[in-house]
């Protein structure tokens, strides 16, 4: 079946503008994750959704970042008042089980965000 | 603090040569261990994972990794690399039931013709 998809694939925005990044997980996957990958860096955990439980937001770098997951499927990551340091590749992943990080995560291709 | 270290930022090996990518972790207990590969323009793909049992784990594309508790290491190996193996490789760890996977900073592999 289809893998994790993300849109847009690339986004260029001006400093101070808001952006929304979308993730469509694999159908039936109950867990969804957002990561940020800055140039030359590893992946930085941002937020985790598991079924109907409250999301783990402990990785969000500031209150300008928020995410929601509607209907247990599609997720949107919103960055308000973007800053140049927000420029990065934002990766989404989903996994089948509700056991959290111990299950295999399947990654989308990412959204490359450039803040001018 | 919990951490994952990949000490080699960039490695170049000749096609057909053997490969070992290093990964060390710092955790209070034995974590779950993963290796992912990220090819240019591609998403991350799981190569292999270790949860328990046999400490030598076989993965896709001819890769294997060995968990060594005494050294807190989970090094990735391949006996003979192919040009298509050129990519970024990430080691990652998670605690049982934890929602987060902690990723290392990655090792970029280049293949010399």
For residue B49, the chain A residues in CB contact (below 8 A) are: 104
Of B41, B42, B97, the CB nearest to A100: B97
Q: How confident is the model at residue B63 (pLDDT cuts 50, 70, 90)?
A: very high
Average pLDDT over residues B46-73: 93
SS3 of B69, please?
A: helix
* A100–B contact, CB cutoff 8 A: yes
Among the listed ranges A106-115, B14-23, B45-54, which one has the minimum average pLDDT value?
B45-54
- Which residue of chain B has the CA closest to A5? B43
B19-36 mean pLDDT: 89
The tokens describing A55, both together, are 């999301």
Upstream peptide bond of A8 is cis (omega within 30 degrees of 0): yes
| Residue A100 predicted with pLDDT over 70 | no
Cβ of B97 within 8 Å of Cβ of A99? The answer is yes
Comparing A50 with B79, which gets the higher pLDDT? Answer: B79
Q: Give the per-residue pLDDT at A71.
A: 80
Residue A90 is given by DSSP the state: E
Least confident range from A25-34, A57-66, B7-16, B23-32: namely B23-32
Q: Which of A42, A59, A109 sits opposite B43 (nearest CB)?
A: A109
Taken in order B80, B83, B86, B89, the sign of the CA dihedral is: negative
pLDDT more than 70, % of chain A: 94
* Alpha-carbon gap: A101 to the closest alpha carbon of chain B (Å): 4
**What distances in angstroms separate CA B23 from CA A45, B35, B42, B79, one per listed residue?**
19, 9, 22, 18
Nearest residue in chain A measured CA to CA from B34: A104
Residues of chain B with pLDDT > 90, as a percent, come to 70
Predicted confidence band of residue B96 (pLDDT cuts 50, 70, 90): low
**Predicted confidence (pLDDT) at residue B17 exceeds the cutoff of 90:** yes
CB contact under 8 A, A107 and B32: no
Q: What is residue B97's predicted lDDT score, i.e. its pLDDT?
A: 61
Reduced to 3 states (helix: H, G, I; strand: E, B; else coil), residue B93 is strand
The whole-angstrom separation of Cα A76 and Cα A47 is: 11
Number of H helices, E strands in chain B: 0, 12
Q: Tell which wins on pLDDT, A41 or B84.
A: B84
Distance CA(B89)–CA(B10), nearest Å, equals 10
Residue B3, strand partner residues: B26
**Residue in this structure with the two tokens 């937020």, named with its chain if needed:** A47
Residue B75 has pLDDT above 90, yes or no: yes
Return the pLDDT at A95.
87
The model's confidence at residue A50, banded by pLDDT at 50, 70 and 90, is confident
């Amino acid at each position: 079946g289809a893998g994790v998809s993300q849109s847009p694939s690339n986004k260029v925005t001006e400093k101070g503008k808001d952006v929304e990044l979308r993730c469509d997980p694999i159908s039936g996957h109950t867990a969804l994750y957002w990561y940020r990958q800055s140039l030359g860096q590893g992946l930085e955990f941002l937020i985790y959704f598991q079924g109907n439980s409250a999301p783990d937001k402990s990785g969000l770098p500031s209150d300008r970042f928020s995410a929601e997951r509607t209907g247990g499927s599609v997720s949107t990551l919103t960055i308000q008042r973007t800053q140049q340091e927000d420029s990065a590749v934002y990766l989404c992943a989903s996994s089948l089980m509700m056991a959290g990080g111990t299950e295999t995560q399947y990654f989308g291709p990412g959204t490359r965000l450039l803040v001018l | 603090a919990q951490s994952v270290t990949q000490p080699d930022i960039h490695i170049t090996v000749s096609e057909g040569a053997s490969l070992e990518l290093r990964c060390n972790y710092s955790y209070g207990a034995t974590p779950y261990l993963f290796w992912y590969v990220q090819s240019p323009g591609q998403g991350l793909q799981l190569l292999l994972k270790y949860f328990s049992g046999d400490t030598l784990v076989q993965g896709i594309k001819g890769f294997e990794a060995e968990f060594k508790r005494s050294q807190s290491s989970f090094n990735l190996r391949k006996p003979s690399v192919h040009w298509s193996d050129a990519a970024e490789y990430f080691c990652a760890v998670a605690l049982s039931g934890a929602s987060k996977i902690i990723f290392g900073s990655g090792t970029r592999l280049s293949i010399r013709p």
